[in-house]
Amino acid sequence: MIKKNITSAFVEKYSTIIIFLVPALTLFTVFVVMPIFEAAYFSFYRWNGMGAPEKYVGFKNYAFLFKNGIFLNALKNNFWIIFVSLFIQLPFALFLALFLANNFRGAAVFRSLFFLPYILAEIVASLIWVYIYKGDYGLVGAIWGLFGADAPWITADKEWALTAILIVVVWKYFGIHMMIMISGLQGISKEVIEAAKIDGAGPITTALRIKIPILWPTITLSIFLSTLGSLQLFDLIMPLTMGGPSNVTHSMVTYLYDFGVGRMRLGFGSAISVVIFIICFVVALIYQTTILKDKGYN
């Protein structure tokens, strides 16, 4: 009788959790966990996606991957994207947020204008920049034409194609980080800012010694989102360069699409996806065990 009462009390207490958790875990298992293990399994085979994989090759897909110069260059490009996102895009977003967090006349208009690129779908944003970079009838071509010079085809130049992508990345995503930081800044108590003014702190001192330290948890969130987003960048690159010219602008995901899915080398593509997953997982784990731990969230 006592055991029955304990069981019924447990079910009554946790029934809501069970009702919502079981479907969520089921969907997570079917659509996330199982595909991860399937990809890991397929990565040990030479397989074109037709029928069951039969030709076992062990770690040869991984060995070829890390000997492949195009993949290593793609990995380097991803780190360049991370670097630009963290040291150009985020500081720029923070600077604008510090300025636009104040409710002066026209602030809402500027916020909307700077946030607009993020609203656009990645494909649409990329196509806009495809026409901007065009050397014959794009904006670059028009500017060069004013000086009577032949315009460069930036996305077709191996020296400048990656830089062109990095410009689009900064333009596309700085707005969302600016809005996140504005939300954080507007949550700072006005009494704290007023106290700083009374103590004689100017705008720069207030920003450096009060606003940014208080905003640091929000900044770390932007750092995390920028890093993971940079590792998974795909949609912006394909319309702009498709990984070219001569495969110099591939990211890891566009390399996966081109050399794995596009060429029907799904065993090799699975190996690439496993490597990308491990890198993203390690980044998330480091963030969880360092930054979040230091903030007392664990």
Q: How far is CA 50 from CA 54, 62, 98, 271, in A?
A: 10, 21, 55, 17
pLDDT at 243: 93
Contacts of 36 (CB under 8 A, 6+ apart): 277
Rounded to an integer, the average pLDDT of 99-119 is: 90
In whole angstroms, give the CA distance from residue 151 to residue 144.
5
Q: What percent of the residues of the chain are helix, what percent strand, and what percent coil, each to the nearest 5?
A: 75, 0, 25
In whole angstroms, give the CA distance from residue 280 to residue 282.
5
pLDDT tens for each residue of 126-148: 999 999 998 777 888 788 877 87
Residue with tokens 């799904």: 266
- Taking Cα atoms as reference points, which of 171, 182, 176, 175 lies closest to residue 100? 182
pLDDT tens for each residue of 8-47: 655 566 677 777 788 888 998 998 889 999 999 999 999 9
pLDDT tens for each residue of 168-197: 999 999 999 999 999 999 888 888 888 888
| pLDDT score of 6 more than 70 | no
239/152: higher pLDDT: 239
pLDDT at 298: 52
In whole angstroms, give the CA distance from residue 37 to residue 43.
10
Cβ neighbour number for residue 40 with a 10 Å cutoff: 15
Which residues, listed in sequence order, are joined to residue 45 by a DSSP beta bridge?
Answer: 56
pLDDT at 292: 67
pLDDT at 5: 54
146/118: higher pLDDT: 118
pLDDT at 143: 82
3-state secondary structure of 80: helix
Q: Exposed, middle or buried: residue 249 (CB in 10 Å: 0-12, 13-18, 19+)? A: buried
| pLDDT score of 84 more than 90 | yes
In whole angstroms, give the CA distance from residue 154 to residue 13.
63
pLDDT tens for each residue of 47-69: 988 888 889 999 999 999 999 99
In whole angstroms, give the CA distance from residue 104 to residue 19.
48
2: enclosing H helix or E strand: helix 2-28
